[in-house]
Structure formats: structure tokens, C-alpha cells
């Protein structure tokens, strides 16, 4: 097996991820990405997924080349988090309930126009265990249903070694220079840096809209060296190299 080579002769790769389907992503991040000619991966959940007024915006995002992945409908996490609703914690779920909800999630994004042939997944809260004692893993279920899933470890992924069902990413709350520093680390190592955003110029765990825009400009200026592409596209290239 030869050494993994990034498509198009790039030296490194970047993926821009946006979780929960927040209004600021629809209103600010997507227009900025479109203006830059870059494509991101969105994981809407909860109201961001179900709000009927968002459907047309997600369809437009897909038509513009962005990827929509699954992040569940009800965002089940450990009930130790204070935001988890009664009856919707991972402790309350069975494998059947997880499978049913994820299938429903895929049906919804399919209606937006997303391809659900080889979709991508983001574990809500980065947690992949369920059941009363949180001792059962639902990674096997995700492996059965998805091409790849993102985890939460904050490091640069090595395309030759990365576990495609636990792809690391950086949760971003910093300014432009902090984002560039991460991209440069990926460049130095020939690796894959995944940037996880929530709010962009609003909502929660946010970055400033101007900082996000400046970082997109950096990626456009570096595009001969850094391949910026959706999660599924890069995961598919990695998976193909391992066959
Ligand atoms: Zn989330």
C-alpha cells in the first residue's frame, strides 16, 4: 500500500463542520461559504432540523454543494448535562430507539435533497454510549449505517491511521489566527484538520462572523495547498485508499 495522497495534489485537508443547525449558520455561515466558493458539512438537530421554515434553506444549501449529515432528531446525551430533557437522555435509549430515530433523521434530510447513500454522522455531545449504565456502545450501529462519524478529540487526523468512526475535530471559539494556526499544523503534517463550529456571529459557542469570514479567505488563498472539502468527500477518499 502506497502512502496516502490528498486529491488534487494538496498537502493537507480541512473540513468545516457546523452542528445543531443554528440560525446564525443559515444566515451568516452559509452565505459566507457561498461567497468564498467553499463547501461545509452541516449537522442540524432539534428545531434546527425540524423547523419547517428551515427546510427550504437546507435544500438551497445542498443545491449549493454543502453536505448535510445526521446528528439525530432529539440530540440524546448523558442526563448529567443540565440541558437534557426528561426521557431524552442516552440512558433512556435502546438500540432500537436509536436506530429508529436515526432512520427518521435520514428521511428528513433526504427530503431536503441530501444523498443518504453514504451519509456522515456526528454523535450528539460526542457521546457514543447508551442504556441505563451508559455501558453499551452504539458505534457498531453507526458503522452499519454511515460512511464516517466525527468524534471530539482535538487533534489533526492522520489520513493513514484515522478511525473513520471517531474522527477528531477542533471545537472552535477562537479568532482567525487561532484557526490559521490549526490549518498550518495540518499543513506541516500532511494531515486533516476538522473545524467544529456552532454559532457564527450569534447563537452559542460562537465565533465572530468576521473571524469566520477571514478564515475562509485564508483557505481560498491557500487552496493549492489545502483541500477544503466536506466530511463525506474526504472520508470517502480515505476509505477508498484502504480497499
Ligand atoms: Zn450537537
Burial level of 132, CB count in 10 A (0-12/13-18/19+)? Answer: exposed
How far away, in angstroms, is 36 Cα from ligand 1 center? 25
How far away, in angstroms, is 185 Cα from ligand 1 center? 26
How far away, in angstroms, is 19 Cα from ligand 1 center? 5
Beta-carbon neighbours within 5 Å of ion ligand 1: 19-20
Query: How far is Cα 136 from Cα 114, in angstroms, rounded to an integer?
Result: 30
Q: What confidence score (pLDDT) does residue 3 get?
A: 77
Query: How far is Cα 99 from Cα 107, in angstroms, rounded to an integer?
Result: 12
Q: What confidence score (pLDDT) does residue 116 get?
A: 94
Q: What confidence score (pLDDT) does residue 1 get?
A: 42
Q: What confidence score (pLDDT) does residue 57 get?
A: 97
**Bridging pattern class, strands 129-130 and 136-137:** antiparallel
Instruction: Look up the CATH number of domain 7-241.
Output: 3.20.20.370
Tell me: the pLDDT tens digits for 104-125?
999 999 999 999 999 999 999 9
Backbone angles phi, psi at 207, to 5 degrees: -110, 160
Residues of the chain with pLDDT under 50: 1
Q: List the Cα angle 196/178/183 in 5-degree steps.
A: 70
Q: What confidence score (pLDDT) does residue 129 get?
A: 98
How far away, in angstroms, is 78 Cα from ligand 1 center? 13
How far away, in angstroms, is 233 Cα from ligand 1 center? 21
How far away, in angstroms, is 188 Cα from ligand 1 center? 30
How far away, in angstroms, is 18 Cα from ligand 1 center? 9
How far away, in angstroms, is 60 Cα from ligand 1 center? 22
How far away, in angstroms, is 16 Cα from ligand 1 center? 15
Tell me the domain boundaries of the chain.
Answer: 7-241
Q: What confidence score (pLDDT) does residue 82 get?
A: 94
Amino acid at each position: 500500500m502506497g502512502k496516502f495522497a490528498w486529491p488534487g495534489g494538496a498537502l493537507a485537508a480541512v473540513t468545516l463542520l457546523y452542528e445543531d443547525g443554528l440560525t446564525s449558520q443559515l444566515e451568516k455561515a452559509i452565505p459566507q461559504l457561498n461567497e468564498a466558493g467553499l463547501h461545509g458539512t452541516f449537522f442540524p438537530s432539534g428545531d434546527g432540523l425540524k423547523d419547517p421554515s428551515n427546510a427550504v434553506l437546507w435544500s438551497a444549501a445542498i443545491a449549493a454543494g454543502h453536505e448535510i449529515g445526521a446528528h439525530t432528531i432529539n440530540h440524546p446525551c448523558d442526563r448529567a448535562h443540565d440541558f437534557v430533557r426528561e426521557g431524552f437522555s442516552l440512558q433512556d435509549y435502546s438500540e432500537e430507539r436509536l436506530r429508529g430515530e436515526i432512520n427518521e433523521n435520514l428521511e428528513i434530510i433526504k427530503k431536503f435533497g441530501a444523498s443518504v447513500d453514504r451519509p456522515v454522522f456526528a454523535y450528539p455531545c460526542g457521546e457514543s454510549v447508551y442504556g441505563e449504565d451508559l455501558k453499551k456502545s452504539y458505534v457498531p450501529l453507526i458503522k452499519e449505517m454511515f460512511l464516517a462519524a466525527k468524534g471530539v478529540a482535538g487533534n489533526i487526523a492522520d489520513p493513514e491511521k484515522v478511525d473513520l468512526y471517531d474522527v477528531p475535530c477542533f471545537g472552535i471559539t477562537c479568532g482567525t489566527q487561532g484557526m490559521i494556526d490549526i490549518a498550518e499544523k495540518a499543513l506541516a503534517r500532511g494531515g486533516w484538520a476538522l473545524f467544529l463550529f456552532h454559532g457564527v456571529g450569534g447563537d452559542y459557542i460562537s465565533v465572530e462572523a468576521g473571524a469566520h469570514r477571514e478564515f475562509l479567505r485564508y483557505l481560498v488563498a491557500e487552496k493549492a495547498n489545502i483541500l477544503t472539502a466536506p466530511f463525506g468527500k474526504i472520508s470517502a477518499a480515505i476509505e477508498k485508499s484502504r480497499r
